[in-house]
Amino acid sequence: MQFTMTRRYRFCAAHRLHTDHLTPEENRTAFGKCNNPNGHGHNYVVLVTVRSGANEGAVALERLDRIVEETIVERFDHQDLNQDSEFAALTTTGENLVKLIWNLLAPKLPAGILEKVGVIETRDNYFEYAAPTGPR
């Protein structure tokens, strides 16, 4: 038998959608009010889904919570995402954030346990990432 379990975490962070590959006008056109030079903030919700089953090792909830708190929440809470070193060459979009969160968590959890990561950025914006599982 295999089950998945999803835990919810929260952090507040600011960012500005902007890329140096576009002109200021192109950035304003592409990102609208989210390109505000002063940035803007979100109350992010991160959903971490892990696998467990009768024949697999499960990750204890306390351990999962500690890993996510130390790796994700402490890193991003009340920060400017544009100042994070991982975003030096990336735009701080929800797609890039959810993949970064996956990449930060996956090595800290038992192999194969992490099923997917979701990020709720706004009432209308949800981003989800799960690493590819081999040839299809």
Of 97, 125, 94, 129, residue with least CA distance to 114: 129
| pTM of the shown model | 0.90
Per-residue pLDDT at 42 exceeds 80: yes
34 belongs to a structural domain: yes
| Alpha helix segments (H runs only) across 2-122 | 24-31, 61-68, 74-76, 94-105
**What does the pLDDT read at residue 58?**
61
72 belongs to a structural domain: no
111 belongs to a structural domain: yes
DSSP string for 89-133: TS---HHHHHHHHHHHHGGGS-TT-EEEEEEE-SSS-EEEE----
**What does the pLDDT read at residue 57?**
52
**What does the pLDDT read at residue 136?**
42
Q: For the purposes of burial, counting CB atoms within 10 Å of the CB of 44, is it exposed (0-12), middle (13-18) or buried (19 or more)?
A: buried
pLDDT band at 31 (very low <50, low <70, confident <90, very high): very high
Distance separating alpha carbons of residues 90 and 104, to the nearest angstrom: 16
Q: What is the domain range of residue 47?
A: 2-59+91-129
Q: Could you tell me the CATH number of the domain that includes residue 103? A: 3.30.479.10
Catalytic residue set = 34, 78, 121
Name the domain count of the chain. 1
54 belongs to a structural domain: yes
135 belongs to a structural domain: no
Of 43, 17, 41, residue with least CA distance to 31: 17
85 belongs to a structural domain: no
Of 36, 39, 61, residue with least CA distance to 50: 61
18 belongs to a structural domain: yes
105 belongs to a structural domain: yes
